Amino acid sequence: MKRHKHIGISKSRYTLFRQCPKALWLKTYKPELIVINDSLQQRFQSGSAVGDLAMGLFGEFVEVTSYTSDGKVDLSRMADYTQKYIAAGVDVICEASFFYEGGYCAVDILKKENGGYAIYEVKSSTDSDKEVYAQDVAYQKYVLSHCGINVTGTYLVCIDSDYVLEGELDIHGLFQVQDISEAVAQEYPLVASQVATAKKMLSKMDVEPDVDLDVHCHKPYDCAFWQYCSRHLPKQSVFNLYRMNFDKKIAHYQQGVITYEQLQNEELNEKQRMQVECSLNDTIYINKVEIARFLDTLSYPLYFLDFETMQPVIPDFQGTHPYQQIPFQYSLHYIEEPDGELKHKEFLGLSGEDPRRALAEQLCKDIPMNVCTTAYNKAFECTRLKELAEIFPDLSEHLLNIRNHIIDLLIPFQSGWYYVPAMGGSFSIKSVLPALFPNDPELDYHNLQGSVHNGSEAMNIFPKIIDMLPEEQQSARQSLLKYCELDTYAMVKVWQKLKEV
């Protein structure tokens, strides 16, 4: 016998359904299959602080957010408060909540204007992906309209990336408000039928929708169910190909060109072909001549540098803008002469303070002028050094000197001079390292003790340290130091491997 369940729609569930019906069904009935990658993680974070700040955009406001005794959001109480404040003629209601036919929505900011109410949807992004936001707001307009609210405007409140913090934070400068009525008007006529279709689909909890992989798996957002839905693919498939855009991969997939055997007869670029052939023949490609030429460009004393950065949405430090990369840590391994001892230096700023000046000063002490420094994917380190040089003119000569002497350790891999099938078409250090050293637990990031195993975790934990208890602070700092040290140690090992071959 089939089981049936009635599940309501919310604004986020509506937009998920619009991206892919199956994603909403899986989220409802198989949430344990969700896999959050770095890009999704970053999207989920930072939203609440931005939402709280935006509440003050129009002066005085009331917020209806309420919780049950066990700490869950109390939507019915929020809806009751909303009705109460509307009846009392309050001008700005934040998180104003409404129910309609089992569905609900909470409006970030509901503002009385033009004889009705306008919806202001707050996003912590700087881009204006209006199509998705318009779906979200059209759903809100649909619910509110059916609750008897005259919706007189629909707006998007997002972050202005050009804003620079100078003095006190100015929320009117930080946020930009856009009228998205036109985009909402395009989506609005579809809402009722989409909601009905979504409800019908969700009423069948035993019937997983039959939706195949398509461009919607990455657009507008990476889908958290990719791992589950792509489980039928071979380990090496068209989706692992180096530098092929996702739409093109999907086009191959839809034509049944999926495995490396099938891809052999397709038009591929030089590196993609090498990737396919090395995998099929289980061979390693090494261009010793080019690698030797590359190694000749390095000289002693040789430094290996890696920065960790954070990207606060709401700028914390004077002169910075939203999402600016703020370096707060570096690790530096170095060898002074051939067969010399491997040495290590490091810097980790104090959470809660602008770390850039102390970091720049320490770096100038740790790396002398005119020495050869390597970085892995050097554009990142070079850009940070240039930014530091711009804000600290007294250190700029030294910082730019370091920058101008950086050689990219990525070159031999990106140029296709060294390819191991296990790299799987990715040349990031996190792919190259296990491919070159498959059984070395010392180089396995998963084996790191503590709470930091990747750049996202480092970026997230650093600003939080200031609010931790002393023993937690100690442990978080240790985790950061160990993680960053492994990054440059990994670079040393990669360099040694290149010398070996």
Interface residues toward ligand SF4, by CB under 6 A: 20, 22-23, 26, 211, 213, 216-217, 223, 225-226, 229
Q: Which is nearer to ligand SF4, 228 or 437 (CB)?
A: 228
First to last CA, the chain: 64
User: Residue 123: helix, strand or coil by DSSP?
Assistant: coil
Helix (H) or strand (E) segment spanning residue 475 = helix 470-500
Min separation Cβ 139 and ligand SF4, Å: 19
Asked if residue 331 lies in contact with residue 306, where contact means CB atoms within 8 angstroms, the answer is yes
Of 224, 199, 250, 232, nearest in space to 26 by CA: 224
Separation of CA 452 from chain center: 16
Q: Which is nearer to ligand SF4, 225 or 334 (CB)?
A: 225
Contacts of 337 by beta carbon, 8 Å cutoff, 6+ apart: 300, 301
Asked if residue 141 lies in contact with residue 233, where contact means CB atoms within 8 angstroms, the answer is no
395: tokens are 């250190």
CA-to-CA distance for 78 and 99, rounded, in angstroms?
10
Min separation Cβ 215 and ligand SF4, Å: 9
Min separation Cβ 211 and ligand SF4, Å: 5
φ and ψ at residue 207, rounded to 5 degrees = -115, 95
Q: At what angle do helices 130-146 and 11-19 cross, to 10 degrees?
A: 130
Q: Which is nearer to ligand SF4, 111 or 252 (CB)?
A: 252
On the 0-12 / 13-18 / 19+ scale of CB atoms within 10 A, 217 is buried
Min separation Cβ 226 and ligand SF4, Å: 5
Provide the β-strand partners of residue 305. 332
Min separation Cβ 4 and ligand SF4, Å: 22
Min separation Cβ 131 and ligand SF4, Å: 16
Q: Which is nearer to ligand SF4, 217 or 276 (CB)?
A: 217
Q: Which is nearer to ligand SF4, 22 or 123 (CB)?
A: 22
Q: Which is nearer to ligand SF4, 223 or 435 (CB)?
A: 223
φ and ψ at residue 102, rounded to 5 degrees = 80, -10
CA-to-CA distance for 10 and 95, rounded, in angstroms?
13
Asked if residue 327 lies in contact with residue 356, where contact means CB atoms within 8 angstroms, the answer is yes
Q: Which is nearer to ligand SF4, 30 or 84 (CB)?
A: 30
Min separation Cβ 258 and ligand SF4, Å: 15
| Helices and strands, counts by H and E, the chain | 20, 13
φ and ψ at residue 233, rounded to 5 degrees = -75, 150
Min separation Cβ 121 and ligand SF4, Å: 23
Q: Which is nearer to ligand SF4, 12 or 474 (CB)?
A: 12
Provide the strand spans (E) within 251-405. 285-286, 302-310, 326-335, 342-348, 372-375
Q: Which is nearer to ligand SF4, 16 or 410 (CB)?
A: 16
Min separation Cβ 242 and ligand SF4, Å: 22
Q: Which is nearer to ligand SF4, 30 or 499 (CB)?
A: 30
Min separation Cβ 25 and ligand SF4, Å: 8
